[in-house]
Every structure is written in structure tokens, then in C-alpha cells.
Structure 1
Amino acid sequence: MKRILAGLTVAIIAAAGGATAGHWLMHDNDAETAHAATPAERDAVARLWTAAVTNPDGKPQSLEMFKDHPVVINFWASWCGPCVEEMPALSQLHREYAKKGIEFVGLGVDSDKNIKAFLQKVKVDYPVYVAGFGGADIARAFGNTAGGLPYTVVIDAKGTVLSTKLGQIQPAELKRTLDAL
């Protein structure tokens, strides 16, 4: 019985390792990755639109207003250095692509208190909502199995995930994705 349990444990660990390796090979997390929509991604998009979020003042909000629009969702936190570093580039891209109808949304994986204090010090040109630690679950639904921040997702007007990016955005790469919309 112990050998069976030991063998089963090894098999589970091997399968998890294979799944993780496959994810990293299929989704290069050092570059923005374009891929076809999967049922899991469609579920993630549906979950995003119904997520419980608030504005920085703690008032409940809905992301459903972004449904049927191309949107860049950026998961971030006030304590995340790379998140803060990329915000000026995201703000610039937001200004540049607003005339094309592309929305940018910051989803804070943080407390409303921290985000409100942060936004009083740092100007951000796009809407920012507080998802709290539930935001990490939403990001995971989009394939962020590492749970790292920042994590950026580009969704077209039909609700198809066009790209995901773990780590700081590369403005030129994100522009290529947005120019294709």
C-alpha cells in the first residue's frame, strides 16, 4: 500500500511539473503572448465582468461597462515596484489609444485604503478599481498560475483574450497587439 501511495504521489508531482512546464513553453511569460480563446479564457472574461470590485473610496462598482469594448486589464498592487514603474507607460498608452476606443483598467490586488493613498500621490490616467486579494483569483483564471504582479490581459470587443503578460509591459509589444485591434 505504501508503494502504491508513493507511486501515486510521484505521478501527481510529475503530472503537475509537466503541466507547469507545458504552460511556460506554450505561454512565454517574458513576452506578451497572443493565442486563441479557450473555454477557460471565455469563463475568465465572464468572471471579470461580474467581479466584485470597488472604487478607491470603497463604493461597489461594475466592470460590465467595459464589456463589448477592447480593454487592457492591468492587475497591480501599490506595494509592487514593477507595477508602479509601468504605470506612466500605461497612462501614455491609454491616452494614445483612447481615441481608438480602447479602454485601460487597473485592478488593484490590494486594499482600498492603500490604493486610495497611492492614487493621491501618483496620477493615473485610466480608471482604477480595487479587487482586493480576489483579484489574484481573477488573474489566475486568465492563466497567471504564478500569481505574480503586474499581470496584463488584452481582451478584444468580442471578449477574446488576445494576449497576457506576466511582468512589466513592453510598450512596443503592447502597441503591436493594440494596433491589431
Structure 2
Amino acid sequence: MKNSFPALLIAVMIGAAALGYGLYQWMGPEPDGEPADRETAARESGQLTETLPSFSLPDPDGQERHIDEWEGDILVINFWGTWCAPCREEVPLLIELQEEYADRDVTVLGIALDEPEPVNRFAEDFGINYPLMVGENETLEVLEAFGSATLGMPHTFIVNREGEVVNFHLGLIEPEDVEPMMAPAFAEESDS
């Protein structure tokens, strides 16, 4: 009996990984780079909020942070978790995005569906250069306040300087997604 436990554990881990990958494929963007039908449908149905909801969550060190701290910035609000493979994969891109757009008052804000300790370790290991907030049920409540009925991770919202939610991306952000994803936030500035 003792020898069957490791085999059972490995089988459960492989099954969980396959389920996670299947969910990611089901909820991620379409292969041709167009938004997934769910994303378009959510936007067109009016499910997604048009304005940034007011909320506060602690950072990984327990300090309460309020979304108003970044008022006037363009926000890239990324819902993620240390346990989520696509989330982990896109962190270097978010770090790069924060560096590239910082001089244009863009703030990447990571909101982790997680516990503080693993988020702190992950942030140190990856050199995260943007603010983080952490919560479990509270993070889900914030995600619901954005109007998203899909629990898939990662989930990214783009908010312009006026506090309007101007774009939404469900699933892994690829380098080619960044410019079109950010364009609506800068649209009014280029018109001036």
C-alpha cells in the first residue's frame, strides 16, 4: 500500500494539470489572436463595468491600499495567482510593460487571488516592479465588481485616466497583445 501512494499522487497531479490546461484553453483567446467569443460577448452584453469600481485590499505586507492611490494614471489591472501557470508566464511581460510605460503614468497593478506569503516570495523571485494587492474572497468580490462572470485567470482590465474601463483581456497576454490592448487608453491623448 505504501508504494501506491506516490503513484496515486502523481496521477492526481497530472489530472489536475490537464484540467487546468483545458480550462485555460477553453477560457483563453482564440488562436487567430482575435478576442475569445466570451470576451466580446461580455463586453457587448454590458456585463463588464464601464467605470473603475472603488475598492481596497491589503498589499502582501498587510498594508491596506485603495485604488484611488493611482487616480489619474492609466491602469493595467491584472488579476492573477501564484498557482496559475499562465499568470506566472505573463509576469515578465507585465514587468516590461511597467518599465516601458512608466514615464507615461501607466501603473500595472497586480491583484492576487492568493495568500500574502506566496505572493511576497513570488514577487521577490521575479523582481516584480509594480504594486500588488492580495485577497482570497475579497479578490473575487473585486473581480465581480468589474462585472466579469468568468473566473478564469489571468484577467486584465485597462482603465484610462478618467477611470473608464476601456479594454479587457481574458487569458495570457502575449507581446503582440500589448499595443492593441493599451491603445484605447491613449486614444484621447493622441486626439488632443
Say whether the fold is shared (TM-score over 0.5): yes
The structure 1 residue matched to 2:161, chosen from 130, 140, 157, is: 157
**CA distance, structure 2, for counterparts of residue 94 and residue 40 of structure 1:** 24
8 Å contact from structure 2 (residues 53, 146) kept in 1: no
What pairs with 1:14-163 in structure 2 (closer than 5 Å)?
28-29=35-36, 41-42=49-50, 45-47=52-54, 51-163=55-167
Structure 2 residue runs of 5 or longer lacking an equivalent are 1-33, 187-192
Letter in 1 for 2:73: H
**CA distance, structure 1, for counterparts of residue 146 and residue 175 of structure 2:** 21
Letter in 2 for 1:100: R
The range that moved more, 68-77 or 171-180, is: 171-180
* Number of residue pairs matched by the alignment: 150
Structure 1 residue runs of 5 or longer lacking an equivalent are 1-26
Indicate the structure whose relative CO is greater, using CA pairs within 8 Å and at least 6 residues apart.
Answer: 1
8 Å contact from structure 2 (residues 111, 133) kept in 1: yes
8 Å contact from structure 1 (residues 109, 131) kept in 2: yes
C-alpha change, 1:40 and 1:99, in structure 2 (3 Å) is same
**CA distance, structure 1, for counterparts of residue 99 and residue 39 of structure 2:** 21
What do residues 97-118 of structure 1 show as CA deviations (whole Å, max 9, x unaligned)? Answer: 1111111110111111221122
**CA distance, structure 2, for counterparts of residue 82 and residue 74 of structure 1:** 12
C-alpha change, 1:40 and 1:153, in structure 2 (3 Å) is closer
8 Å contact from structure 2 (residues 53, 145) kept in 1: no
The range that moved more, 77-86 or 141-150, is: 141-150
TM-score, normalising length: structure 1: 0.72
What do residues 71-99 of structure 1 show as CA deviations (whole Å, max 9, x unaligned)? Answer: 10000111111101000011111111111
SS at match of 1:99: helix
> Shift of the alpha carbon at 1:30?
6.9
TM-score, normalising length: structure 2: 0.68
> Shift of the alpha carbon at 1:133?
2.7
The range that moved more, 109-118 or 87-96, is: 109-118
RMSD value, Cα: 2.7
> Shift of the alpha carbon at 1:174?
2.4
**CA distance, structure 1, for counterparts of residue 141 and residue 96 of structure 2:** 28
Instruction: Tell me the percent identity.
Output: 28
SS at match of 2:151: coil
The range that moved more, 84-93 or 57-66, is: 57-66
8 Å contact from structure 1 (residues 56, 113) kept in 2: yes
**CA distance, structure 2, for counterparts of residue 134 and residue 150 of structure 1:** 16
Letter in 1 for 2:68: E
